[in-house]
Structure 1
């Protein structure tokens, strides 16, 4: 097993970044220790090893660019300092997309067999049972969206089947994180001012922009642009940007735009004397961005985040034809690797230097398509990109098109589903109208919370969740709700002592399973349950949701009206 640790460490010892391009950097030379938070407890990343003895299944979640993958690789590289009898195995979950028919057990066995010839299924089973393995699963959100629920169940079953197994999973935050009921969820915290300074000191870059960055950091940069300094990726992008632009934009899509332009125009710092790296494809900046946007749209829709050179050239060929741009695809491929550093080589394959660039340029692409295509494209994006930043960036890039052609019609549709329902008195009627038959269930969870529905997602819910995030509806509702766990704990207590459903056989499994911490009981609901459901977090949530939904619809309707009126006045058109 020592071979497993040694060879994995060698494989993941180096990383490539947007500033290093194809030049590898030792991860430990660049890495800045991160802080994580669960409830009110804040820990340092190294402390995860200590917690695994009591919290053997841990979910690490954070937004794009927060350093989740770097964190997990750091844990792998330092595991020998903390683990005595366990051996870590790092699995990049996006690789599962190439093996949809294989179980997690098979994937684990094959990963170990890469380092230990002939490692068998029986040996894998023994290693899992004996607690010899620490599974480090990187990028759950990179699994194909239509297979995530299935893979999530597999991981949960592994944790239940092997009580000595320890697991760390990383993912972006989304509505699905609540399903990891056996996992202790930790959120990666924003970088502090001191961590930002340390990262800039460590980054291998020209000293002049680093000096300018430190100067601005010592004045008011952290106060004025703290949102962009919250994670390592955006911090490094800001360093690149300050070499080319004097100011930092306030909107996230402009931040990515400026960062890309800085990479497009940047000088080769290793040469000095203002040498600008020669690009193989001589395109104007706008054509270069448009072509890369087509490439990002093509790869995203084909679920390609890592690909061979042949596949990349095929996508570039399609993009050149669609964008009606004449350029050499092989030269463009080299420029994306060597000049703008949008792609980085990884063995015989290539991947985006960071997934968020693919998402930004896909949003750039969507924001410029014909208005009549928006209603056809957006539902698919809402379903696929619940944890991506694509739809919110489209909303920011082209608010007029987004709201008039898609957001307002969708909010109208949601409002029509629940019109005339008193959500305060009849939360189940509201839930049934919004979610259909699927909503008429409630799941009694082991952490004394209740969750509406069977776990399956209805067609319009992806749209609902996306719009609620974009317009801050979830945040406003949760800010007004009492502590959810306390609410549901009181309801469960009433179920257990018979004040709710004393003679109702539906509640017997809940009472019998109270000693089983992992028991999840699905209860079918009916109109008579409105009285007690009103007291749960879902009942309170529904009452607030009804008000927020109508308010958001009315706000956007008024904005659309004002824009149309203003345009008519400018063009001297009759309304």
Structure 2
């Protein structure tokens, strides 16, 4: 371990952090100082050398494999994320499963520690799910090495100095039952200690976009050049370096052009690299990527990280089918319990339940060894076990659901999924897409169609009513900024719950908002309303703007603009498109069911 990192950082920040806490005794000064040193050293050692899909059996230097993703706002791509954070101070980073959020948070921690820019504190927000503690309690336990603070006043003084960068990871993993309280808690913490820098990450659809102080940025997908650069980087110091060109050539085949949207995800691209020796062709479905990974882990042993037929010992003595059953049920149980990582006792208890139900005869410790060492499908992170990525857990859980009988599926897609949507507000769209791919008929029949029909009215006929309903259904808010004495529409916020996002996948309202922007220019009554509304917020680029919502749309002067026939027609068309998609789901279900019945009768 490079123990100098924490000390070097504290040598710079010790005095500014502790100088205001004059009543701090030497004992507690020691606790604070050494708690931070131990924390920084521990996480620096943990992140500076890591395992990846390719290097599963050895830790490699982080920057040998880290590919710097870009983030973007309003189509503007940003490469230097640290510079952005230093400038904006409050940054939310939004990315789908496998987009590179986890690697980015590690990079931010390492770079801040190495360059002595700020004292980095990484907070996994899911830790607040099963605790009465506030985020401040959690952070205080970090900086005092889990010792009790002598007083809230002293902690307040230390955190107020502005020397920290707080990396708040996984907003989408907060249970929805806790979401309102935890969100308010986070916003209060940011307000109280606003001199510091804050980064918060999330999958889309969890509501992170509504944080008032934060500037929102999306992780950019890898473009064609970056895909090649990513592959070359992974093999730059690899013994099997020549395979990189073969992988790039396969991806660049004209026949594979339409698969590249999968490979724009660093995670899925890593999976394809890992499985290339055994599965050199690109699969059509995302779920097949996960199957290829699992099959490679279980049955194929000429992995990229070892040459020859090397194979780990199976200590449990179980066959692949038995380990698969344990893994799939473990993923299902833990996903619906909202657990993405587990200590040994929790993991042991869950596996014990599974093997007991299916009369699988094997030692629990040996099963854990095989899942962790032999297959590398569970990774040990300190004292905690995790999946290599949450999306793998989602794939295994979806595979388990697919294997159930009709009655069992009905129960899962109704009762169990209600629990999932209740406890997780956002972040499930990847899991839903996996269920759609693997188990389309039953997913549509028992979950998606009933759920969206219970949320979305299908009987509206008037174009004006359709527009008003879309505004209400999506909880639209429009943000206007004054530029050269004229107001312009600069931001749009709307609800993006998982179910709605799944139905709206690929739809865009950009053309609608361009129409609104054209209409408001030169409308003196509308400009007068905006000018006198006077309630400004910070938009996702850090600019001040005036935000209009549902209640404003009812005002005559606003309604006159919004009710312009062009806008009405555009929103009416959007309503029709959503309704048509729901009907297409119903037609698809009918066709699939009839096709199955016809084939069964042959």
How does 1:120-269 map onto structure 2 within 5 Å?
A: 121-174=152-205, 176-191=207-222, 192-202=226-236, 206-207=240-241, 209-210=243-244, 212-216=246-250, 223=257, 225-267=259-301
CA drift at 1:258:
0.9
- Corresponding residue of 1:102: 133
CA drift at 1:29:
2.5
Any idea what the Cα deviations from partners look like across 1:278-328, whole Å, max 9, x if unmatched? 322344444432321111011112222121112111111222244564444
Q: TM-score, normalised by structure 1?
A: 0.81
Q: Is the 8 A contact 1:298 1:319 kept in 2?
A: no
- Corresponding residue of 2:577: 548
User: 2:449 aligned to 408, 427, 432, which one?
Assistant: 408
Deviates more, 1:26-35 or 1:525-534: 525-534
User: 2:464 aligned to 424, 439, 449, which one?
Assistant: 424
CA drift at 1:421:
4.6
CA drift at 1:177:
3.2
CA drift at 1:18:
3.5
Is 2:315 the counterpart of 1:280?
A: yes
Q: Please, what is the CA RMSD of the aligned residues?
A: 3.9
Over 3 Å counting, the alpha-carbon distance change for 1:106 and 1:115 in structure 2 is closer
Is 2:548 the counterpart of 1:513?
A: no
User: 1:470 aligned to 495, 502, 516, which one?
Assistant: 502
Q: Is the 8 A contact 2:119 2:165 kept in 1?
A: yes
Q: Within 2, Cα distance between the matches of 1:155 and 1:540?
A: 40
Q: Is the 8 A contact 1:136 1:168 kept in 2?
A: yes
Over 3 Å counting, the alpha-carbon distance change for 1:303 and 1:569 in structure 2 is closer
User: 2:404 aligned to 363, 369, 381, which one?
Assistant: 369
CA drift at 1:27:
1.5
Higher RCO, 1 or 2 (CA under 8 Å, sep at least 6)?
2
- Corresponding residue of 1:89: 121
Q: Is the 8 A contact 1:59 1:183 kept in 2?
A: yes
1:245 counterpart SS class: coil
CA drift at 1:241:
0.8
Q: Within 1, Cα distance between the matches of 2:62 and 2:426?
A: 30
CA drift at 1:522:
7.3
Is 2:421 the counterpart of 1:378?
A: no
Deviates more, 1:144-153 or 1:313-322: 144-153
User: 2:97 aligned to 56, 61, 64, which one?
Assistant: 64
- Corresponding residue of 2:370: 335
Q: Within 1, Cα distance between the matches of 2:189 and 2:492?
A: 23
Q: Within 1, Cα distance between the matches of 2:451 and 2:149?
A: 55
1:33 counterpart SS class: coil
Q: Is the 8 A contact 1:196 1:229 kept in 2?
A: no
Any idea what the Cα deviations from partners look like across 1:46-96, whole Å, max 9, x if unmatched? x23322343110111211122212112112212256555x32222222222
- Corresponding residue of 1:503: none
Q: Within 1, Cα distance between the matches of 2:366 and 2:515?
A: 56
1:54 counterpart SS class: helix
CA drift at 1:571:
4.4
- Corresponding residue of 2:514: 483
Q: Within 2, Cα distance between the matches of 1:249 and 1:295?
A: 26
Q: Within 2, Cα distance between the matches of 1:294 and 1:548?
A: 38
Over 3 Å counting, the alpha-carbon distance change for 1:263 and 1:484 in structure 2 is farther
- Corresponding residue of 1:504: none
Q: Is the 8 A contact 2:250 2:281 kept in 1?
A: no
User: 1:111 aligned to 127, 130, 142, which one?
Assistant: 142
Q: Within 2, Cα distance between the matches of 1:537 and 1:104?
A: 47
Q: Is the 8 A contact 1:449 1:489 kept in 2?
A: no
CA drift at 1:179:
0.8
Is 2:310 the counterpart of 1:310?
A: no
Number of residue equivalences: 543
Is 2:324 the counterpart of 1:289?
A: yes
- Corresponding residue of 2:382: 347
CA drift at 1:252:
0.3
CA drift at 1:430:
6.6
CA drift at 1:344:
1.0
Q: Within 2, Cα distance between the matches of 1:488 and 1:377?
A: 47
Q: Which runs of 5+ in 1 are unaligned?
A: 456-460, 501-507
1:424 counterpart SS class: helix
Q: TM-score, normalised by structure 2?
A: 0.78
Is 2:85 the counterpart of 1:52?
A: yes
Q: Within 2, Cα distance between the matches of 1:538 and 1:299?
A: 46
Q: Is the 8 A contact 1:382 1:391 kept in 2?
A: no
User: 2:439 aligned to 391, 398, 406, which one?
Assistant: 398
2:281 counterpart SS class: coil
Over 3 Å counting, the alpha-carbon distance change for 1:405 and 1:159 in structure 2 is closer
